[in-house]
Amino acid sequence: MKKYNIGVVGALGAVGTEMLKTLEQRNFPVEHIVPLDVAENEGKEVVFKGEKVKVRTAQEGAFKDLDMALFSAGEAASLKLSPVAAAEGCIVIDNSNAFRMDPNVPLVIPEVNPEDLRWHKNIIANPNCSTIQMLVALKPLHDHFRIKRIVVSTYQAVSGTGLAGIAELENQVKAYAEKKPMEVSVYPHQIAFNALPHIDVFLENGYSKEEMKMVNETHKMLHDDSIAVCPTAVRIPVIRCHSEAINIETEKPVSPEEARQILAEAPGVKVLDDPLKNLYPLAAELVGTDDVYVGRIRKDISTENGLNMWVVADNLRKGAALNAVQIAETLVKMGLV
């Protein structure tokens, strides 16, 4: 089997760390792993397959010997370095928002639209974490019944903000337990014991940037701008795993029983749905898992062709690192590297 030289940009961050772990766990055919980060982190070490590997600086010239690089360093770094890496012959799989809506860059979930990888020009965008888990669950239903409208409310973990978000929640919980004032710096309000209907900046239409990502990315990956999408994104005091309450309206009638059967056979999906036995997806129980979990599948009693469901996935795995690695695996499988 051919092996590949793989870079991970932002290797010391929350998602970069998960990317390294995922490459190792899935036994991706790596010849050399090259962890890349900001200059001040050069020389620090990460462990990959039991070996210590020194971190290098992500800069021009660092990508010449790489086949692919997984980027998790944020939008500014991606805008600066992705074109450099692409020009040096390296395929970039970028986890930021930098190129998602660029018409010349494919935006891909392997279970949803792998065929779009065929027209890549050395940069491929990894979708938003919330969009990924939503569409992995909805694409099989869309294929059978055609979805006309999606209403989704997300309940997103603080790890979506990175290590700083995790630290802020932990520090506030500790302060609460010690009866000390809670310090607020990462989020606009206290996140511990709270729910913030505010992720990213608000736009002129009243929706947040995070919410509009779900609208625009859904249209791009399903190749259908006519699907109505109405999202509300909420940050909650959970460290890992995003949860979503999803309501869909379909062209053709769909029963909960049909939906369960289709989802049970869909790639990347697991159905946990027996409410009478308290069985449904829970964020606290799904940390470190790779699938998208679906439960509470029930008819929308307010409309004829409607369905409700509850969807949970690890935002650092399928919502970020795993999807990026799966894109790399699919490129290899399709002979596109």
Structure tokens at 36: 């890349």
Please pick, among 129, 144, 198, 219, the residue that the annotation labels catalytic.
129
- One of 90, 120, 142, 242 is an active-site residue; which one? 242
Angle, helices 14-25 vs 322-333, to 10°: value is 40
- Whole-angstrom Cα distance, residue 225 to residue 109? 18
Rounded CA gap, 294 and 22, in Å? 22
In the block, residue with structure tokens 């790596």? 30
SS (H, E, C) 26-55: CCCCEEEEEEEECHHHCCCEEEECCEEEEC
Tell me the CB-side half-sphere exposure of residue 168, using CA atoms within 13 A: 24
| 242 flagged as catalytic | yes
Distance CA 194, CA 23 (A): 35
189 included as an active-site residue: no
CB of 58 closer than 8 Å to CB of 37: yes
Active site members: 129, 242
